[in-house]
Amino acid sequence: MPVVELGPERCDALLAFFAALPEGDLTFIKEEVHDPDTVRSWAAGPASGGRWVAVDDSRDGAVTGYVAVRPLPGWSDHVGEVRLVVAPTSRGTGLGRELARHALVQAVESGLSKLVVEIVAEQGGALALFTELGFTGEALLVDHIRDRNGDLRDLMVLAHHVRDTWAGMDTVGVADELSSR
């Protein structure tokens, strides 16, 4: 499935994607993804970059995955926060890995030197995906989030230090992808 930058022509498909997700999957998006004005604002203007969608052309351009790299403000402007979600029907297909790699490549190209991602400690698949891409644990925040059922969950913060893990990017093919552009 092609991964494309979010543009105005994909906003309705992205809204449908978010509407179909289970509530628990929306925990780490942080914006109001059910609000059409919010989603449309992501695709408008020069500051809208850093958001991509996976598109299934066999299903009339349906969105099957979303990834964003949001630069942090101020003195942390060298850091980007990764937000990634894949449709339940597309999990286990490698789409999450493809989206995460795309985000990593784009973040490096834009000059970010560190990426962070927040993961619920019980999300073993997400943890494996990001550690295979060179992310390492930076923090474990015990009982830090409350899920949709009101239960407390531990939050893990993983980080990717671009300079420190360049050799690791060679291992997973990211460096090759960067040099082929």
Most confident of 7-16, 30-39, 105-114: 7-16
Q: Which of 29-38, 66-75, 84-93 has the lowest mean pLDDT?
A: 29-38
pLDDT of 28 reads: 62
Q: What are phi and psi of 136, to 5 degrees?
A: -130, 155
Is the distance from CB of 25 to CB of 78 less than 8 angstroms? no
User: What element of type H or E holds 159?
Assistant: strand 152-161
Task: Using DSSP, state whether 74 is helix, strand or coil.
Answer: helix
pLDDT tens per residue, range 151-161? 899 999 999 99
Give 18's pLDDT tier (boundaries 50, 70, 90).
very high
Please give the model's pTM, rounded to 2 decimal places: 0.85
pLDDT of 177 reads: 58
Q: Which of 84-93, 106-115, 172-181 has the lowest mean pLDDT?
A: 172-181
Closest CA to 45 of 7, 100, 84: 7
pLDDT of 89 reads: 92
Is the distance from CB of 160 to CB of 115 less than 8 angstroms? yes
Domains of the chain as residue ranges with CATH: 3-179 (3.40.630.30)
Q: For the chain, what is the mean pLDDT?
A: 85
